[in-house]
Amino acid sequence: MTKVEVCILVSSALFGACVMTTPVSADEVADFYKNKRINFVVGYNTGGGYDFYARRVAAFYGRFIPGNPTFLVKNMPGVGSVKAANHLYNTAARDGSVIGLLSQTIPVKQRVRSKKVPVKYDAAKFNWLGRIADEVEVTVVWHTAPVKTIEDAKKTEIILASTTASGTLTTLPTLMNRAAGTKFRIVTGYKGTNGAMLAMERGETQGSGATWTTLKSRRPDWVKKKLIRPLVQYAPKRHPELPDVPTCIELIKDPKARAAAALIASSAEVGRSVMAPPGIPGDRVKALRKAFMGMLNDAKFKADMIKLGGEISPLDGTDLQKIVIKALAAPDDVAALALKYTTVKRKKRK
């Protein structure tokens, strides 16, 4: 055997030993999620818009996450999703096994903080995974109501059904009353947006509120048959499908009050977004964000959403995080005025 052959033999042996003794690197994210269940917390009752989006996400999301975990949707209503936000921030596991779809107002609720609203979270520290769709809240009246436009609502009192004193069905029309001169009389105590809409349909009240997508997906006949009249929309700009309905910002003349309204309306950009608790390992956050965008771009997911009346205007988690941070950076005087315009005393229906 020549020296060259010996060297080749020795080198081969050493290489083989290296291969045998070095463990094959495993996909740690896939290993973590394999055979695991993700608890998906929704900040509202079943039957509403947030629940609708959460259940569509739960049906698809796991296919795109390494390890293909299953999902369990858990409804946790209370204080306009603040209860669920506090749970995600303070109690839920910080390992990527719990995520949430909560009110789009979660960042604004923190900045425009009322002593009555028990905010125990920092929205900037949530791991925002991505947005399914931006979302425009609207105040609507039943077609038999004695008003046709928002200008009419400045002259005629209209009774609106709402859920809680801190929910958007209360705070948004209250903003209009105080900053734009409308005469909405808000009655709280109804169970979820669904309960408030039923009250309007039964004639217990003359109007209520919801997101435009919720109305289209959960009450399509109301929209097609024009059984409801949208009076005002709460967003930075008019929704393409509501070109004749003014935004709350347009209707307010005072510059400071308009800035406060713009802060409130900024929640439309957060829309139907999914977040996770802080402190999750970075590789899992990265994988969850990538999987989320993969789901939103999936042809089957898009077809499912279109079929059921949902909307998709995706935004990745990093850009979404920037929107949240911007809202939290609103000046103190603007936040204080927004609080003044939206805080009400509790008054339940009889």
pLDDT value of position 347 = 52
CATH numbers and ranges of domains, the chain: 28-134+270-329 (3.40.190.150), 137-267 (3.40.190.10)
Given the DSSP bridges, would you call strands 98-101 and 272-276 parallel, antiparallel or unpaired?
antiparallel
pLDDT at 126: 98
Which helix (H) or strand (E) segment is 187 a member of?
A: strand 184-187
pLDDT digits (tens, 9 = 90+) for 121-157: 999 999 999 999 999 999 999 999 999 999 999 999 9
35-46: average pLDDT: 96
> pLDDT of 163-178, one tens digit each?
988 889 999 999 999 9
Rounded Cα gap, residues 90 and 113, in angstroms: 18
pLDDT at 15: 38
**What is the share, in percent, of the chain residues with pLDDT greater than 70?**
91
Max Cα distance, the chain (Å): 106
pLDDT (tens digit, 9 = 90+) per residue, 293-317?
999 999 999 999 989 888 899 999 9
Does position 348 have pLDDT exceeding 70, yes or no? no
Residue 309's pLDDT is 82
User: What pLDDT score was predicted for residue 123?
Assistant: 98
Query: What pLDDT, on a 0 to 100 scale, did the predictor assign at position 346?
Result: 57
Alpha helices in the chain (DSSP H): 3-21, 28-33, 49-60, 82-90, 106-111, 168-180, 192-202, 212-218, 220-224, 255-265, 267-270, 282-296, 299-308, 317-328, 332-342
Which pLDDT tens digit goes with each residue over 10-25?
444 443 433 333 333 3
Q: What is the pLDDT of residues 58-85, one digit of tens each?
A: 999 999 999 999 999 999 999 889 999 9
The answer to whether 80 and 109 are in contact (CB under 8 A) is: yes
More confident residue, 12 or 319: 319
Residue 242 has a CB neighbour count (10 Å cut-off) of 16
Per-chain mean pLDDT for the chain: 91
Rounded to an integer, what distance in angstroms lies between the CA atom of residue 190 and that of residue 188?
A: 6
Provide DSSP, 97-151. Answer: SEEEE--TTHHHHHHS--TTS-----GGGSEEEEEEE---EEEEEETTSS-SSTT
Structure confidence at residue 6 as a pLDDT band (50, 70, 90): very low
pLDDT at 284 over 70: yes
pLDDT tens figures, 240-266: 999 999 999 999 999 999 999 999 999
Give pTM, 2 decimals. Answer: 0.81
What is the pLDDT at residue 14? 41
Question: pLDDT (tens digit, 9 = 90+) per residue, 173-220?
Answer: 999 999 999 999 999 999 988 899 999 999 999 999 999 988 988 899
Contact 230, 242 (CB under 8 A): yes
